[in-house]
């Protein structure tokens, strides 16, 4: 049974989310009816990553014509490593930081196989490339945070059909991550427990919103989901730093992510979506032992309108319990 309209407060951010299932459409109406258009392979720039990149390849694995994953500089980077030092300065009343950083593309070989369709070996290889690039960036004194994400489909911001992923290294910690870090730290200071570990424990006890779990990873629809069919995926072990994750635990996360995306694509008829990694910053690591890295998946189901934009409060029209049932195929 769907919940009545109610407001729920997120344990980490402190944000209030308005749940209004009776305002929304019937669950089946969220399932995409239009099949995503396949772009021609003939003119696809990512079939030849060397020509499409903004410089020499950073990493190719394996080397040669049988490569499976290539990491290359973005030809149109949001940030560039132009020699300017990370330093906050004033321009009138405003704080300004030079746009120094790195913006890379991670391209998989097959024109059609997004993450859920990759072989197990290629999916694990992709995440190892993410981690390898992350480790390369740790020694850059100007970098404070490394963002790793995937846009699948035009509604999620993917301008090119061929599956690809992005790594952006920033000179500042971005606002949403800062919000998550400060909320987690505050909860730990007040309760002496990781707030994410607490959520994992509660979701396992509730059993309503868990979508998938294996020996060392768990995915669930959060009790306070910011958007319809949001999914969060955690290593079960308390791990603050993505880059320090063991091969076994990383493999568990990759397996769970593929499984959940396949369920999502089947249940909602292949919606556009984003997934991204939230991890602790790369500097002053001793300050972030309270954090718990994870992957967030955001299907593109509805658009923000006047209320959301005017208040900063999200309206979710699908009960997370119901969302989990639909994704698991129990609707």
At residue 79's C-alpha, the angle toward residues 50 and 126, to 5°, is 50
Q: Where are the beta strands (DSSP E) in the chain?
A: 6-9, 16-19, 59-61, 69-73, 89-91, 94-96, 102-108, 145-152, 164-170, 210-213, 217-220, 231-235, 273-278, 294-299, 315-316
Residue 326: CB atoms within 10 Å:
21
* pLDDT tens digits for range 281-327: 999 899 999 999 999 999 998 887 787 778 778 888 899 999 999 99
**What distance in Å separates the CA atoms of residue 219 and residue 110, rounded to the nearest whole number?**
27
- Residue predicted with more confidence, 305 or 42: 42
| Alpha-carbon distances, residue 291 vs 100, 118, 144, 179, 205 (angstroms) | 26, 30, 16, 12, 22
Confidence of residue 237 (pLDDT cuts 50, 70, 90): very high
Confidence of residue 29 (pLDDT cuts 50, 70, 90): low
Predicted model pTM: 0.91
Residue 171 phi, psi (nearest 5)? -85, 0
pLDDT at 119: 97
* pLDDT tens digits for range 142-171: 899 999 999 999 999 998 999 999 999 988
pLDDT at 222: 96
- Eight-state DSSP code of residue 157: T
pLDDT at 21: 73
| Mean pLDDT estimate for the chain | 89
SS3 125: helix
Reading the block at residue 326, the tokens are: 């639909």
SS3 122: helix
Confidence of residue 15 (pLDDT cuts 50, 70, 90): confident
**What distance in Å separates the CA atoms of residue 16 and residue 151, rounded to the nearest whole number?**
26
Q: Could you tell me the domains of the chain?
A: 11-25+32-328 (3.30.428.10)
- Residue predicted with more confidence, 231 or 80: 231
- Eight-state DSSP code of residue 154: G
Percent of the chain with pLDDT over 90: 64
Own/partner long-range contacts of 206-210 (Cβ < 8 Å, ≥24 apart): 208/321, 208/324, 209/320, 209/321, 209/323, 209/324, 210/324
What average pLDDT score do residues 268-283 get?
Answer: 94
**What distance in Å separates the CA atoms of residue 219 and residue 226, rounded to the nearest whole number?**
16
What average pLDDT score do residues 242-268 get?
Answer: 97
pLDDT at 67: 95
pLDDT of 267 strictly over 80: yes
């Amino acid at each position: 049974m769907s919940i009545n309209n109610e407001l729920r407060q997120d344990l980490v951010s402190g944000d209030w989310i308005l749940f209004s299932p009776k305002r929304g459409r019937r669950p089946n109406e969220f399932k995409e009816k239009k099949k995503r258009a396949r772009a021609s392979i003939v003119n696809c720039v990512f079939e030849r990553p060397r020509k499409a990149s903004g410089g020499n390849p950073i990493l190719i694995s394996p080397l040669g014509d049988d490569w499976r994953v290539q990491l290359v500089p973005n030809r149109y980077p949001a940030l560039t490593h132009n020699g300017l030092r990370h330093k906050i300065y004033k321009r009138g009343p405003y704080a300004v930081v030079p746009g120094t950083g790195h913006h890379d593309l991670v391209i998989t070989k097959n024109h059609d196989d997004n993450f859920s369709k990759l072989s197990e070996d290629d999916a694990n290889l992709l995440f190892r490339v993410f981690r390898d690039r992350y480790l390369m960036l740790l020694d850059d004194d100007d970098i404070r945070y490394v963002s790793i994400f995937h846009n699948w489909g035009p509604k999620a911001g993917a301008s090119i059909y061929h599956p690809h992923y992005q790594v952006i290294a920033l000179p500042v910690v971005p606002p949403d991550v800062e919000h998550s870090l400060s909320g987690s730290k505050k909860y730990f200071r007040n309760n002496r427990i990781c707030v994410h570990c607490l959520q994992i424990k509660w979701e396992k006890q509730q059993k309503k919103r868990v979508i998938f779990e294996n020996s060392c990873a768990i995915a669930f629809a959060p009790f306070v989901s910011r958007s319809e069919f949001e999914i969060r995926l955690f290593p079960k072990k308390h791990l603050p730093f993505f880059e320090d994750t063991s091969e076994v635990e990383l493999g568990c996360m990759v397996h769970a992510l593929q499984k959940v995306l396949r369920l999502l694509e089947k249940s909602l008829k292949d919606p556009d979506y984003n997934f991204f990694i939230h991890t602790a910053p790369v500097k002053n690591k001793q300050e972030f032992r309270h954090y718990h890295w994870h992957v967030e998946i955001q299907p593109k189901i509805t658009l923000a309108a006047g209320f959301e934009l005017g208040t900063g409060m999200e309206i979710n029209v699908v009960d997370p319990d119901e969302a989990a049932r639909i994704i698991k195929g129990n609707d």
